[in-house]
Amino acid sequence: MTDIDYVMAFLKSKEDGKLQLKKDKCCCGGTKNTPCVCMIQGNDCSSSSPKCPCYALMDKQKKSIKKMVGVF
């Protein structure tokens, strides 16, 4: 399952009242109202290998920002 699949499955299950979060908060700022993949899967946050999905996404975002060119 991809990360988006986990989130979509959680949202559907949340409506049905079947699935509960395995964590209440996350390193990325996820909350009960806006859960992330780590909260659904119950992953421990880890900034070193193997990285949790949140830190892996943060690294991808940092690399993308470095590639961006400012337009003035």
Nearest in space to 30 (alpha carbons), one of 47, 42, 18, 19: 42
Q: What is the mean pLDDT for each group of 10 consecutive residues in the chain (72 residues)?
A: 70 69 85 82 86 84 69 52
Q: How many domains does the chain have?
A: 1
- 43, burial (CB in 10 Å: exposed 0-12, middle 13-18, buried 19+): buried
Residue 16 lies in a domain: yes
Residue 19 lies in a domain: yes
Residue 34 lies in a domain: yes
pTM score over 0.75:
no
Q: Quote the domain boundaries for residue 27.
A: 3-65
Residue 13 lies in a domain: yes
45 near 59, Cβ under 8 Å? no
- Note the pLDDT of residue 17: 64
Residue 72 lies in a domain: no
- Note the pLDDT of residue 58: 83
Residue 21 lies in a domain: yes
